[in-house]
Structure 1
Amino acid sequence: MASTPQDVIIEFITIGNAVKVTAVCTVTGREVSIVGDPKASKKELENLAVRKLAYVLQKDAEKNAPSGGKGILA
């Protein structure tokens, strides 16, 4: 799992019976969202969104990393 991003902006929006939590990495501009239970604590929802952001940033890094093989990289 990727390390936790250091600079993250968190936004909470209540939508009916749910809370949309958006996490944005200030370095890369990458944004992810989760939808959670409004009864859950803000800290829990924030941690989940940041963990998802770290996961997505790790996947992006793996996708953009050179394969180490020979040939043309697309």
Structure 2
Amino acid sequence: MPDDLGEVIVEATRNGTYLKVTAVHVATGIEASAVGPAMEPKAVERLAIAKLRRLIATS
């Protein structure tokens, strides 16, 4: 988990061959989601966290 962001809650939901990962920044309530192949859960999680970083940087 990225320490520079503070506390982040990560939730993964599988739907067939796809995985949706949602990352929520606890301090601000900002959330970001990413969808990708269920066979690559860490890659989808990294993408969701990267999107969350961009959203926090622009807020």
TM-score, normalised to structure 2, is: 0.82
Identity value in percent = 38
Amino acid at match of 1:31: E
User: What residue in structure 2 maps to residue 57 of structure 1?
Assistant: 56
8 Å CA contact 1:17, 1:38 repeated in 2? yes
TM-score, normalised to structure 1, is: 0.68
In the alignment of these two chains, the number of paired residues is 56
Unaligned runs of 5+ residues in structure 1 are 61-74
8 Å CA contact 1:5, 1:50 repeated in 2? no
Write 1 or 2 for the structure with the bigger share of strand: 2
Q: Report the RMSD for the aligned CA atoms in angstroms.
A: 1.2
8 Å CA contact 2:20, 2:44 repeated in 1? no
Unaligned runs of 5+ residues in structure 2 are none
